[in-house]
Amino acid sequence: MTTSSLTYGEAILSGFRYLLSNYPEVFVIGQGLWSPWYVGNSMTGLDKEFGQNRIIDSPVSELAVTGAAVGASLCGYRPIVVHPRMDFMILATDQIVNQAAKWSHMFGGQAHASVTVRSIVNRGGEQGAQHSQSLHAWFAHIPGLRVVMPATPEDARDLLIASVLSGDPVLYIDDRWLYEIEQEVSPIVEKNLRTEGPKVIRTGTDCTLVGSSYATQLCVEAAAHLEKQGVSCEIIDLRVVNPLIFDEIISSVEKTRKLCVVDGGWSACGLAGEIIAGICEKTAPSLLESTPVRLTLPDAPAPTSGPLESTYYFQSDDIVAAVLRLVSKRVGELSR
C-alpha cells in the first residue's frame, strides 16, 4: 500500500478534491472560498480547478448560505457549507437544528437533508471571546445531527468524505491548531460514517485518556511524557461525538480502571461530563479505582490578551499533572 505525508490542512484539501472529482452533486458554499487565505490553505485553488459554480464564495450571511444548502440537499445535491468561524455559525442554528437535523424524522424517512456543515474552531491568537469558542457539546446534544471531530490528517480527509456521502446532516468540526500536524496517510477508501466511532490510538495499562480534535493531540504529547515517568496511558480518540459509542471507552476503562477526559469546551453540561456519566451508568460501581477527572476550559469566556490566554488554555503539562494525581489516589480522595 502506497502512503503519502500530508498535513491536516492538506488532508482536508485532498478530501474536497476527491469529492468534487467523483461526485458531481457535491458543491461548496461559504465565506472566503476564493480568497488568498483559502480557509487556512485547506481549499487552495479549488475554485480554479472545479469552477466558481461549484465553489461558491458567499456574502456574509451564515443564515442564508446554510438555508440554501439545506434546501439544495433536499433537491438531490450534497452541499458542504463552510463557516470559517464556529462562533458566527450560531446565526444559522435554526437551519441546522430545527430543519436539517429533523427533516428525515418529521417526514418518515422520505426526505433527507444530506448536508455537511464544516465549522472551524479558531481559539487562541488573541482573538477574544467571540472568535474562540468550541461549541461541539451544544450540537452533540441534538438528535439527528451527526457531529464529527477529527484529530489526525487521515481522519480529517476520510471523515470529511464519509460525512458528505453519509446522506445525513453532519457537523464536521476542525480546529485551526491542528492544520500543521503531519502524518503518513493511506490511499482513500470510502468509509461508512455510521460505523465510525472512538478508536484506541495508543495502548496502555495505568490510565485511560479520552480526547477529541486538538485535545487528542495534547493527550498524545502528555502520554509520551508520562511514559518517561513510568505511567502507561491508553488514549481513546472520540472522532465522532454524536452519536457517541461507548464500547471502546468501556473496554479501556475495564483494563486501566482510571479515567481522565480532556475536552476543549467548558465543563457545564459538556462532553467530558457526558463521557464520565456514561461510564458510571454502563459499568459496575466498583470498576473505577479513582474518581474520574475531567480537564476542560475554565468557566469563563476566552480572554483576549496573550498572557491571560496562556493560563486559560490547558496544555499537555496540565494533563500530565492531572494523571499523576489520578494514579496516586483512591476513589473519593480526588477532588477538583
In a domain, 181, yes or no: yes
Residues 54 and 21 in one domain: yes
Q: Which among 148, 82, 72, 143 is positioned nearest to 112, based on CA atoms?
A: 72
State the chain's mean pLDDT as an integer. 94
Q: Are 188 and 219 in contact (CB under 8 A)?
A: no
In the chain, pLDDT over 90 holds for what percent of residues? 88
In a domain, 295, yes or no: yes
pLDDT digits (tens, 9 = 90+) for 231-274: 999 999 999 999 999 999 999 999 999 999 999 999 999 999 99
In a domain, 333, yes or no: no
In the chain, pLDDT over 70 holds for what percent of residues? 97
Edge-first strand order for the sheet with 199-202 is 199-202, 233-237, 207-211, 259-266, 293-297
Residues 80 and 141 in one domain: yes
Mean pLDDT, residues 64-78:
96
Q: Are 70 and 100 in contact (CB under 8 A)?
A: yes
Query: Annotated catalytic sites, by residue?
Result: 131
Q: Which residues pair with 293 in a beta bridge?
A: 260
| Residue type present at position 226 | L
Mean pLDDT, residues 103-120:
94
Q: Are 288 and 258 in contact (CB under 8 A)?
A: yes
DSSP 189-208: ----GGG---EEEE--SSEE
In a domain, 177, yes or no: yes
pLDDT digits (tens, 9 = 90+) for 29-50: 999 899 888 888 899 999 999 9
Residues 102 and 56 in one domain: yes
Q: What does DSSP assign to residue 88? A: G
In a domain, 72, yes or no: yes
Q: Give pTM, 2 decimals.
A: 0.94
Residues 230 and 163 in one domain: no
pLDDT digits (tens, 9 = 90+) for 275-332: 999 999 999 988 999 999 999 999 999 999 999 999 999 999 999 999 999 998 654 4
Residues 13 and 102 in one domain: yes
Residue 253's CATH number: 3.40.50.920
Residues 50 and 23 in one domain: yes
Domain boundary among 132, 166, 195: 195
Number of domain units in the chain: 2
| Residue type present at position 99 | Q
Residues 203, 207, 212, 217: what is their CA dihedral angle, to the nearest 10 degrees? -70
What pLDDT shows up at residue 1?
Answer: 67
Helix (H) or strand (E) holding 141: none
In a domain, 336, yes or no: no
Q: What does DSSP assign to residue 103? A: H
Domain range for 74? 4-195
DSSP 154-183: HHHHHHHHHHHHSSS-EEEEEEGGGTT-EE
Residue 143's CATH number: 3.40.50.970
Residues 224 and 84 in one domain: no
